[in-house]
Amino acid sequence: MAAIEENEAKISVKVIVDKVYKRVVYAEADYTFVDILFSFMTLPIGTIVRILGKVDDKKFEGLGSLNNLYQSLKDFPDCYLSSAECKPILLNPMSLSYHHCRKLKLKIDDTQPLSYFGCTQDSMCITSLNSNIERYCRFRVAGCVFVSDIATIIISDNLCVEPYTSESGIRLLTDCGITDTSYLEERKLDMCSNEVIVFLHMMCFYQF
C-alpha cells in the first residue's frame, strides 16, 4: 500500500490493554471511528474485493474465488457485454449509502460517483457516466454519519459495539476475568485510511 503521508487524516482511539496477558480488553472511541465501523455494512462485495486487493501483505491474499471472479470480469471482453456500462457498474458498485458515507473522516471506498442520464426518446433507457461533480443532499451536513456525537462508544475485543457506561465497562472487565484494574494500561492508537483497510481485511478473515 502507499506510504502514509504526514498530513493524511487520522482518527484516534483509546485502547485499554491487559498488561499481564498482553491483550486488548476494549477500546473507547467517538462517532468518527464507529461511523467507519458501521459503514463496512454498506460496502458491496465488489467494492470489498477491490479495496482489500490493495493490501500488500501476502497472508491476506484472496477472498476465496471472489478474487478470481473479480479479475475475470476485469478481463472479460467488452464485446460480450450487453452494454458499455455493465463492466464499470459491476467492478465499481455503489451502495445506496455511498453519498452519505462521503462524510466519513477516513474514506476507504474509492468508488467514483456516478451520474445517470435518461434518454429523451425512451423513458426506459438509462445510462451512467463517471462524474466528479459533487453531490449535495439532505445527508450532506457537517458532523456525524451514523452515530450521534453526544456519547463515547465502547468496542469489545470481539467487535461488539455499545454506548459507554460505567456498567458496560465493568461488565467487559468481568467477562475478561479482570478484577484488578492496576493490570490495565491505556494506550492511544492513531489510524489512517490504510490501517482501516487492513482492519477491514482482518475482520473478513479472523474471528476476534
Task: Sheet containing 11-18: give its strands across.
Answer: 161-163, 153-156, 23-29, 11-18, 184-191
Residue 35 lies in a domain: yes
Q: Does the pLDDT value for residue 130 go beyond 50?
A: no
- Residues 208 and 202: their CA atoms lie apart, in Å, by 9
Q: What is the pLDDT of residues 86-127, one digit of tens each?
A: 999 899 888 888 888 888 999 888 887 666 555 555 555 555
Candidates 20, 30, 23, 21; CA nearest to 157 is 23
Domain count, the chain: 1
Taking the model in full, what pTM does it have? 0.76
Contact 47, 111 (CB under 8 A): yes
Task: Indicate whether 5 belongs to any domain.
Answer: no
**What's 65's DSSP letter?**
B
Whether residue 133 has pLDDT greater than 60: no
Domain of residue 37 covers 11-111+145-205
171 lies in some domain = yes
Residue 131 is assigned to a structural domain of this protein = no
154 falls within a domain? yes
- Answer whether residue 2 is part of any domain: no
In a domain, 164, yes or no: yes
Lowest mean pLDDT among 129-133, 157-161, 181-185: 129-133
Angle made by CA atoms 42, 26, 109, in degrees to the nearest 5: 25
Q: CA–CA separation, 41 vs 188, rounded Å?
A: 26
Query: What is the Cα–Cα distance from 168 to 186, expressed in whole angstroms?
Result: 17
Cell numbers 475475470 label which residue?
72
Q: Which stretches of 38-183 are assigned E, i.e. beta strand?
A: 114-118, 126-130, 153-156, 161-163
Amino acid 72: pLDDT: 94
pLDDT in tens, 36-94: 999 999 999 999 988 888 777 655 555 678 888 999 999 999 999 999 889 998 998 88
Residue 86 lies in a domain: yes
Residue type, 127: T
